[in-house]
Amino acid sequence: MFMRKVELRQLAEECDMNDEDFKEFCELFTSFGSIFDLSLVDDTSDIVIVKPNEFLSNLSKAFDNPPNSKMYTENGIITKTTAREMFGANQGETFMSVLALVGMVAVVPGGKYAEDETHEVCYYMPCARKRKQERFMDKEAVRLLLNNRSPINFVNFEVAFTNFMLKHSFAQLQSSTDENRTNIECTDNSNIITMTYRGDEIEVKRMKKFITDFHMMPSCAINVM
């Protein structure tokens, strides 16, 4: 199902294919959907999906039959163990690498998820959560309006927000009681930054941990893309 691009390149050399022909081959057959060369999405990737239909089928089966894990269904957290249960012992991490590359999951470094005691890398998939949604608008939050031409949807925007915030040493992902909200704690000053999706707009807000007095988040802090 997966192949390293260097391995595919070796096969191409055996067929007397030069570098330019190999590049055109990968681009053409990716456009046909016969393969999926992930280096066309991120040039640092060395993964080629050589059986896209099988990949999508396995992905569909995994999501149609989610793991019996509260971390997954309530918090959208996929541990390495859960990934192996979903996609197989040998391909779990590769599947997660692909999902991270296309923006479906955020990579959470060890110690960056508040409820994780293993301090291992895990993954955050916002769309996996099965909770109630926060529907009441917050007048004190910074509001970002989305237009119909925007290529950014709820999943990849929230993932991008999480990835950006977790680059900072003081940031830690917190669990959320709402399906459409992501919480990041700033451990250096006990602030909680929340991002809430509301269909055609996104709300971003900062509050003090354990304090109900909310404060508007500076507009400069929302430039996460």
First and final C-alpha spacing in the chain = 32
What DSSP string runs through 51-64? -HHHHHHHHHHHHH
Q: What tokens appear for 83 in the block?
A: 């990934």
219 has pLDDT over 60: no
49-90 tens-digit pLDDT:
999 999 999 999 888 888 888 889 889 999 998 999 999 889
Question: What pLDDT is attached to residue 149?
Answer: 62
Distances (CA, A) of 197 to 1, 183, 215: 35, 12, 19
